[in-house]
Amino acid sequence: MRGTVVLARDENIDADYDRPVMIAATNGYVDVVAVPPTLPSACTQFRVPTRDGFIQMVDYASVDNWNGKHVRTWLPRPPAGNHPQ
């Protein structure tokens, strides 16, 4: 979430939308950066830091999964032991 907006990984802009990630946070906060939307249908898009780089997320209302594409709002985590806590 960013404020009251639920963010989602959209397969239309992220082929690895279902790959497990560890979101990178500092003191409980994530430094999410707004970027220009990749898709014309997206209202907002964000660059979200992970321990392995960055992922792109859009506001959930902008997700386009009507044509067989998928979306993730709950992000899977890598198996224990793959990342230091």
pLDDT, tens digit (0-9, with 9 covering 90-100), for 44-61: 999 999 999 999 999 888
For the chain, how many structural domains are there in total? 1
Is 18 contained in some domain?
Answer: yes
Residue 5 DSSP one-character state: B
82 has pLDDT over 60 = no
Establish if 83 belongs to a structural domain.
no
C-beta atoms surrounding 9 within 10 Å? 24
Q: Are 8 and 72 in contact (CB under 8 A)?
A: yes
Query: Is residue 85 included in any domain, yes or no?
Result: no
Q: In what order do the strands lie in the sheet with 33-35?
A: 33-35, 45-50, 53-59, 7-10, 71-72
Q: How far apart are CA 50 and CA 65, in angstroms?
A: 24
Tell me the pTM: 0.79
In a domain, residue 16? The reply is yes
Range of the domain at 25: 7-64
Mean pLDDT (whole number) for 65-79: 75
Q: Is position 58 within any domain?
A: yes
